[in-house]
Amino acid sequence: MVSGTFVEVAAPARNREAGTAGTAPASRESGWSRIRRLAPPYLYLVPAVVLLVVWTYQPLAQTFVLSTYSWNLVPSTPMVDVGLGNYERLLGTPELGRAVWRTVVVILGMLPFTVVIPVAVALLTRRVRGRAQGVYRALVFAPMLVAPVAGAAVWQWLLDPSAGAVNRVLGTDVNWLNTASTAQWSIIVITGWHVVGFAVLVVTAGLAGINPDYAAAAQVDGASRSQVTRWVTLPLLSPTLAFLALMTVLLSAQWTFPLIDTLTQGGPVSSTTNLYYLLWEYGFRSHDAGLAAAAGVLFFLGFIVVAALLTRLAARLSHHDD
Amino acid sequence: MKRTLLAACAATLLLATSACGLGSESTGSEGPVSRVPELKPDQKVSIVFESYNFGQAGAWTDTFNELIAAFEKQHPNISVTAQKPQGNSANPATDTISSLQSQLTAGSPPDVVQLGFSDLDFTVNQLKALPLDDLVGKDAVQANFDGEQYPYAESARTLGDWNGKTYGVPFVFSTPMLYYNKQLFTQAGLDPENPPATWAEVRDAAKTIQQRTGKGGAYVDCLTKAAKDWCFQALVRSNGGRVLSEDRSTLTFAEEPSVEVVRVMQDMVKAGAMPNRTQMQAVESFARGDLGMILESSAIQGTFLKGAGDRWELGAAAMPSFDGKQAVPTNSGAALFVFSKDAAKQRAAWELIRFLTSERAYTTIATKIGYLPLRTGLVDDPDGLKQWAGENPYLEPNLKQLEHLEPWVSMPGANYLQIRDGMMQAVENAVYQGADPAESLRSVQEEATGLMQGGGK
Amino acid sequence: MTTEVVGESSRARRLGGHVVLGLLSLVCVFPIYWLYATSLRAPQDVSSLSVLPWPLSTASYTEAFAKNDVLGMLVNTGVVAVFSALGQLLVALLAAYAFAAWRFPFQRLLYLMFVGTWLVPFQATMLPNYVLLSRLGLLETLAGVIVPTLCSALGVLLLREHLNSFPKELLDAARMDGRTSWSALWTVVVPTLRPALAALGILLAISAWNEYFWPAMVLQRSNAVVQLGLRSFMGTEGNDWGPLMATAGLACLPVFALYLVLQRHIVNAFVRSGLK
């Protein structure tokens, strides 16, 4: 049954217009007008759904099928059916477990940049007045506007062991990107630098959407400023924070990818090879289209599971203002 | 419930119809390649030339454009479209094979492709590059190698061969050279005209530089995954070993000669003679003047000269040897292969290859870009490159090394890339991260041997 | 715009805010400064690591313009960004309208289809998309870069949020006047949504401007978009940092300008939607 704003309101209008001219009772609605009534939402969805099917889901299905073969993409070479062999091969690599762990580390490392710092920044921006707010926001957002390749190149110089700015300021001579223990953190910091502006924007919006009456009421009851923040503001902000956390979990591996590809190529000695990069490498390096397809599919399935878990978690933990 | 069922049906339908998206049509390999006839003068053909050198705005693109224009003038009925490999790596050379694969699947591969020697096995056996001996006849191929006046260097002729047949015509190559900063040498009290000739001497010189000037000592750009395995193979060969047995059936990079190489290098790092750097960091460091010596491909020479400018003088020497043994350099570089399906395009492709490897082309390439011409006789020709060679003192060690040059051996099977990367990762782990060389190499060799046998899919 | 609900800030608190924000802004902006500084160095100093570029030189810019048709690239990238954003906005608007204004069978499933695209990794679809583009003859064209990206899940999600909080009374009033859903969309909904559409459009345009994965697959014979032009300074024999930084600097300017001009809209739009 299609219902909603347009149809519900339309029905009485139609009756009024029809007047006494005997409109067809609902039970004997003609086929054509039935379609006309049911169609609109689907029609509006047609462009988007067609695009999705053609450019996302059909290729995905093709990839599913391809993942059960072994093939080097040369048309004259036969595709060898290996069933689930590609998946077995992928799940059996010792690297996979380590890559999963590294991905968890990346996600946990990104959360400060997408949740903690933006909240701090958004709260602090409220303290400064007028023009300064806009200026700070613009400056913090600026890294998002830089081309990924150029950004990576600049950071590579900043992290140069012998005379990069970072080492000069800190007085150390660590090779940040080429030491197994620090490479991962360097990547996290650079990615965080890139996305912090976007997260600040989202949190600012979330803050502004909170009804000021709550805080005012708490103040009237004698709560101090920090108490208000802690017990009123932050909980009301939780849907926004949950959204950011979800985005971080789902997309941080993808955000780090261009950086890893340009700066460390997964090294040194695999210390920056997270799951996304591992599957990319496996697929790409093997020149075996079937294996690459299996890697893509595996990632997709894994993510569905993670996303489902997280959405359930988020729904349970967030307080909604209704 | 009904809705879920409907959705499931839709998904299955989608899956079923999607199989006709990609796929191979034939049941097996194509028949033997037959000789293609010459082109008639009024027969118009257009071909596509793909090279990773095209990706970079600079000397290569300009030179290529110049050569292609000259070619089209000579052959007015052939038009050439140039392109770079498709892909998103910062270094276009990484994308060559996957680019070719995508285009093969879409049904329109480029006609002439420049591919590296490390991919030779895969190119010939998996991607099915066309055998030039069958396409235009062995005499024609050899005649091209002989050229009009200056033939290819002996060691360069067979680099693109497989099982006795020529599949690719070697186009460009470079050898590993020891570049050094003459100024830093002087500052450290070393003789800038007497560069180290053995690895032990390199180690001592590097330590001296590091102690007396505070700059980096020496960097051997053969020991990381990014560097690939071409000069690691040179190091192993120079120590009397091999990474792959001569019959290509067994991996041998965990045996004593290569383990010793890794130990020597690891030792240099531990002693502070070699700094821990990535390939990119080391190249830039040397160009900046912050590194004393670097073992690097002669192809990067231009970058070093530019970086040196007038602040310091670049020195070049042959690859150092291990005590008592002869140094064996390997060549890096690429060859030109043909992938067209159409007979007319195949002939046109061959004409382009002949042109790009002619004396005239090599003269242009050498003077404009600085690569060593494979027709080595050109450097003695007063009308050719004699003057350029005179102005280019770095050629001398490069040419001398040609006598002992051995080819860069490509790993076998469909998983060659994983084998190669695994090996280099083990080397990197040992040299820069302190892992035990013997153990590190041995465990990777075991894994890789499994890949070799599983390969051939 | 902000709700200063807890009374006048004391000077100290304001100062504290300035300090922290100032530091953060510095860290955010310093790499960008470095980018421009490098582009203004003399060619032999390009690898230099000194903080101030001296002597200043425009050699890198000259070289960048000589090696690439920089203006042409910027125009092309602009075309791609604008058309991508417009196309994505239109498609997303229609889809979000459907979700917000009606209740219909399969609604949840269709919605999940949109969310699902966030879960599909690029490598799972790039090869089939490439083959399809090849069959459609759209390789080497800007259209080939734009068309596969026209359905933006982010756009649909955000607009749906906005539309859900859209005052129903306005829509009802439109119905009372007997308008069709189509005309209601364009005469009532869009004008009210203008700031949100503008903000989303800018975000989508910025995203399309910085995109390089897909253009790298589609445009093999030319450096039509500026991100590819950047890569033309990177190669097997080392990277050409001076012109690369110059081109990157030029590539950032239009986006910076756009952002500064429209900054207020973006924040306002997010604020009004109250992302929940």
Whether omega for the bond prior to residue C55 falls within 30 degrees of 0, making it cis, is: yes
Average pLDDT over residues A124-139: 78
Average pLDDT over residues A217-237: 78
pLDDT reading at A30 higher than 90: no
Average pLDDT over residues C64-68: 83
For the record, the structure tokens of A189 come out as 């910091």
The end-to-end CA distance of chain C, in Å, is 19
Confidence of residue B14 (pLDDT cuts 50, 70, 90): low
Examine residue C61 and state whether it is found in any structural domain, yes or no: no
Distance between C67 CA and the closest CA of chain A, angstroms: 18
- The pLDDT value recorded for residue C157 is 81
Examine residue A83 and state whether it is found in any structural domain, yes or no: no
pLDDT reading at A288 higher than 70: yes
Question: In degrees rounded to 5, what are phi and psi of residue B6?
Answer: -60, -45
* 3-class DSSP state of B410: coil
Count of other CB atoms within 10 angstroms of residue B353: 24
Nearest to A80 among B104, B127, B457 (CB): B457
Q: Looking at the 3D structure of chain A, how many domains does it have? A: 2
Q: Which residues pair with B219 in a beta bridge?
A: B294
pLDDT reading at B457 higher than 60: no
Examine residue C171 and state whether it is found in any structural domain, yes or no: yes
Query: Do A228 and A294 fall into the same domain?
Result: yes
* Chain B residue numbers touching C109 (CB-CB < 8 A): 3, 7
Interchain CB contact of B14 with C (< 8 Å): no
Please state, in angstroms and rounded to a whole number, the distance separating the CA atoms of residues A25 and C118.
45
Query: Do C99 and C218 fall into the same domain?
Result: yes
User: In the predicted model, what is the mean pLDDT of chain C?
Assistant: 80
Examine residue C3 and state whether it is found in any structural domain, yes or no: no
Interchain CB contact of A45 with B (< 8 Å): no
Query: Do C51 and C118 fall into the same domain?
Result: no
Domain that holds residue A37: 1-43
Q: Which residue has the higher pLDDT, A132 or C60?
A: C60
Query: Do C149 and C215 fall into the same domain?
Result: yes
Quick one: which H or E segment has residue B113?
A: strand B112-116
Interface of B with A in 293-312 (CB under 8 A): none
Query: Do A39 and A98 fall into the same domain?
Result: no
Interchain CB contact of C110 with B (< 8 Å): no
Confidence of residue B273 (pLDDT cuts 50, 70, 90): very high
CB contact under 8 A, A150 and C127: no
CA angle B177, B180, B183 (to 5 degrees): 160
Query: Do C31 and C163 fall into the same domain?
Result: no
Write out the E strands in B348-439: none
Domains and CATH numbers, chain B: 45-173+332-401 (3.40.190.10), 176-330+411-453 (3.40.190.10)
pLDDT digits (tens, 9 = 90+) for B179-199: 999 999 999 999 999 999 999
pLDDT reading at B137 higher than 80: yes
pLDDT reading at A1 higher than 50: no
Examine residue C158 and state whether it is found in any structural domain, yes or no: yes
pLDDT reading at B270 higher than 90: yes
Examine residue A293 and state whether it is found in any structural domain, yes or no: yes
Query: Do C167 and C190 fall into the same domain?
Result: yes
pLDDT reading at B122 higher than 50: yes
* Chain C residue numbers touching B53 (CB-CB < 8 A): 235-236
Examine residue A287 and state whether it is found in any structural domain, yes or no: yes
Examine residue A223 and state whether it is found in any structural domain, yes or no: yes
Query: Do C148 and C91 fall into the same domain?
Result: yes
Examine residue C43 and state whether it is found in any structural domain, yes or no: yes
CB contact under 8 A, A239 and C276: yes
Query: Do C36 and C141 fall into the same domain?
Result: no
Q: What is the pTM of this model?
A: 0.83
pLDDT reading at A301 higher than 60: yes
Domain that holds residue C21: 11-56
Q: Which one, of B450, B322, C228, C119, lies nearest residue A305 by Cα?
A: C119
- The pLDDT value recorded for residue B171 is 93
Please state, in angstroms and rounded to a whole number, the distance separating the CA atoms of residues B197 and B321.
6
- The pLDDT value recorded for residue A304 is 84
Average pLDDT over residues B357-382: 86
Among B3-7, B82-86, C235-239, the range of highest mean pLDDT: B82-86
Query: Do A237 and A300 fall into the same domain?
Result: yes
Q: Which residue has the higher pLDDT, C152 or B222?
A: B222
pLDDT reading at C226 higher than 70: yes
Q: Which residues pair with B316 in a beta bridge?
A: B179
Examine the fold and report which residue of A43, A59, A74 is the final residue of a domain before the chain moves on.
A43
Distance between B325 CA and the closest CA of chain C, angstroms: 31
- Among chain C residues, the shortest Cα distance to B92 is held by C235
- The pLDDT value recorded for residue C272 is 54
Interchain CB contact of C239 with B (< 8 Å): yes
Examine residue A82 and state whether it is found in any structural domain, yes or no: no
* 3-class DSSP state of C234: coil
CB contact under 8 A, B128 and A161: no
What residues contact residue B40 under an 8 Å CB cut-off, 6+ apart?
A: none
- Among chain B residues, the shortest Cα distance to C137 is held by B106
Please state, in angstroms and rounded to a whole number, the distance separating the CA atoms of residues C63 and C53.
18
* 3-class DSSP state of C47: coil
- Among chain A residues, the shortest Cα distance to C177 is held by A13
Distance between B88 CA and the closest CA of chain A, angstroms: 9
pLDDT reading at A18 higher than 50: no
pLDDT reading at C241 higher than 80: no
Examine residue A54 and state whether it is found in any structural domain, yes or no: no
For the record, the structure tokens of C100 come out as 């917000």
Check residue B151 and report its DSSP letter.
Answer: P
Examine residue C223 and state whether it is found in any structural domain, yes or no: yes
Average pLDDT over residues C216-225: 82
* CATH number, residue C84: 1.10.3720.10
Nearest to C17 among A128, A168, A251 (CB): A128
* CATH number, residue A183: 1.10.3720.10
For the record, the structure tokens of B9 come out as 């049906």
pLDDT digits (tens, 9 = 90+) for A173-222: 788 888 888 899 999 999 999 888 888 877 877 777 677 777 788 778 87
Instruction: Please report, rounded to a whole number, the percentage of residues in chain B having pLDDT higher than 90.
Output: 51
Among A73-82, A155-164, B147-156, C117-126, the range of highest mean pLDDT: B147-156
CB contact under 8 A, C275 and A243: yes
Average pLDDT over residues A251-275: 84
Interchain CB contact of B106 with A (< 8 Å): no
- The pLDDT value recorded for residue C276 is 36
pLDDT reading at B2 higher than 80: no
- In chain A, alpha helices (H): 5-18, 31-52, 58-66, 85-92, 94-111, 117-125, 131-141, 148-158, 165-170, 180-208, 212-220, 225-228, 234-259, 275-286, 289-317
Which of A100-114, A137-151, A205-219, B407-421 is the least confident region? A205-219
Query: Do C241 and C121 fall into the same domain?
Result: yes
- In A209-273, alpha helices (H): 212-220, 225-228, 234-259
Average pLDDT over residues C234-263: 79
Examine residue A65 and state whether it is found in any structural domain, yes or no: no
Average pLDDT over residues C235-239: 64
Which of B205-209, B232-236, C154-158 is the least confident region? C154-158
Count of other CB atoms within 10 angstroms of residue B153: 20
Distance between A177 CA and the closest CA of chain C, angstroms: 16
- The pLDDT value recorded for residue B25 is 46
Query: Do A10 and A96 fall into the same domain?
Result: no
Please state, in angstroms and rounded to a whole number, the distance separating the CA atoms of residues B429 and B427.
5
Which of A38-42, A268-272, B86-90, B410-414 is the least confident region? B86-90
The residue behind tokens 């290859």 is B353
pLDDT reading at A224 higher than 60: yes
Interchain CB contact of B33 with A (< 8 Å): no
Nearest to B57 among C131, C221, C232 (CB): C232
Query: Do A31 and A122 fall into the same domain?
Result: no
pLDDT reading at B264 higher than 60: yes
Examine residue C115 and state whether it is found in any structural domain, yes or no: yes
Query: Do C167 and C228 fall into the same domain?
Result: yes
Q: Looking at the 3D structure of chain C, how many domains does it have? A: 2
Judge whether A299 and A90 are in contact, CB under 8 Å.
Answer: no
Check residue C103 and report its DSSP letter.
Answer: E
- The pLDDT value recorded for residue B30 is 52
pLDDT reading at B116 higher than 50: yes
Judge whether A93 and A175 are in contact, CB under 8 Å.
Answer: no
CB contacts < 8 A (A, B): 127
